[in-house]
Structure 1
């Protein structure tokens, strides 16, 4: 499953250029054109990264990210903006961004910055994570492969796997899993979580995911 990016950019030509380029690189890009639309989309979907222009209608990119961070959403974010003062740079990082790139920029440079941030989500800094001798996970493309053959996961199984890979050998309590895997307006289900765990164990091996009764789960990564 492709990494999903939100692109907030009110310049239609630039929005199309950036989205076309990133889709050619294997990303899924959702384009929005004003701050209110961005907020709605962020709450409706789960993005791997936010690309935010600053001077956009209704709500600035700065205000969008402030609101997102106030809701305890830690989705990585990059500001893409024509603002070039040190004050703007300082404000961008104080809002909680992970990176800040000034226009005009090279698409390749933006791609490198995006890939670098997506790798940072994982304790393993390599793009390709070896789960077992045969099973690998690509932290950029979100592809799980067994002996080179892609294994299809549904969205919640993918999110659960990413959460485990980001926190190997760590107890993840049920509430933390529910908050990460389920959207804010979805009702989580104990039975559904057990089903997703069961499906991942079939792929990765029973011993990779340990159930700690009434507490949560731990992913064993050697």
Structure 2
């Protein structure tokens, strides 16, 4: 399972990253809020661990950005801030857990494991089975190849969800442009690049194309 860790203190960040890796987690790191937002836009994570007082933009703004993408990824705030106003802002933005600095690594382990257990227990009602051993979780917004999560950008997730909403029917490039990009800032070639990228991360048969009809996912 993959975690994004936002922490500006280098030694603190390295220590936490190495500890989480020792527990078997894959950890991606960010030293400021802008880097964190960029990684969230381009990757899929099972958990976001965010410090609040970081350079560029705050952890609160990173949370706001993540939720604006409609991500259901659990978020744990790791901070020395204890003012009730800061706590309230965090929960209003969708924080799922608080960890007050300084903390014991055993407490970090417990809270991370509990969040993973709570949010990633299997529920077949949320799973759409796709050809060639792929499956899509509509709650977690994750595509898997067997048990392995496929790393997708937010636009790729949106495109897959749109095609899945029209199972059995082809969608034209014009329909895709309108639904995913609202017909802005994208041309036909740009849509084809996104489809090609998804096929590269999955298989050539994951998205089927038909001349004159468009694209559909092979469910």
**Structure 1 and Structure 2 fold alike (TM over 0.5):** yes
Task: Tell me the residue number matched to 1:174.
Answer: 176
Task: Tell me the residue number matched to 1:23.
Answer: 21
Structure-2 change in CA distance of 1:15 and 1:196 (3 Å): closer
1:29-69 residue CA offsets vs partner (Å, 9 max, x unmatched): 222223344344445x3242422111223432113333x25
Shift of 1:152: 9.9
State the SS of the aligned residue for 2:190. coil
Task: Tell me the residue number matched to 1:108.
Answer: 110
Q: Is the 8 A contact 1:174 1:215 kept in 2?
A: no
Query: Could you tell me which of 75, 88, 91 is aligned with 2:89?
Result: 91
Q: Is the 8 A contact 1:129 1:137 kept in 2?
A: yes
Q: Is the 8 A contact 1:23 1:29 kept in 2?
A: yes
What are the equivalent positions in structure 2 for 1:147-186 lying under 5 Å apart? 155-156=151-152, 170-171=165-166, 174-175=176-177
| Distance in 2 of aligned mates of 1:218 and 1:28 | 29
| Distance in 1 of aligned mates of 2:148 and 2:52 | 38
Shift of 1:19: 1.5
Task: Tell me the residue number matched to 2:172.
Answer: none
1:1-24 residue CA offsets vs partner (Å, 9 max, x unmatched): xx5432111333432233223334
Structure-2 change in CA distance of 1:168 and 1:175 (3 Å): closer
Q: Is the 8 A contact 2:158 2:180 kept in 1?
A: no
Query: Could you tell me which of 58, 74, 77 is aligned with 2:70?
Result: 74
| Alignment: residue pair count | 193
Q: Is the 8 A contact 1:54 1:61 kept in 2?
A: yes
Query: Could you tell me which of 27, 48, 51 is aligned with 2:49?
Result: 51
Q: Which runs of 5+ in 2 are unaligned?
A: 168-174
| Distance in 1 of aligned mates of 2:158 and 2:23 | 21
Shift of 1:101: 1.5
Q: Is the 8 A contact 1:92 1:100 kept in 2?
A: no
Task: Tell me the residue number matched to 2:171.
Answer: none
| Distance in 2 of aligned mates of 1:151 and 1:113 | 19
Q: Which runs of 5+ in 1 are unaligned?
A: none
Q: Is the 8 A contact 2:5 2:13 kept in 1?
A: yes
| Distance in 1 of aligned mates of 2:25 and 2:110 | 14
Structure-2 change in CA distance of 1:36 and 1:171 (3 Å): same
Task: Tell me the residue number matched to 1:60.
Answer: 58
Structure-2 change in CA distance of 1:22 and 1:171 (3 Å): farther
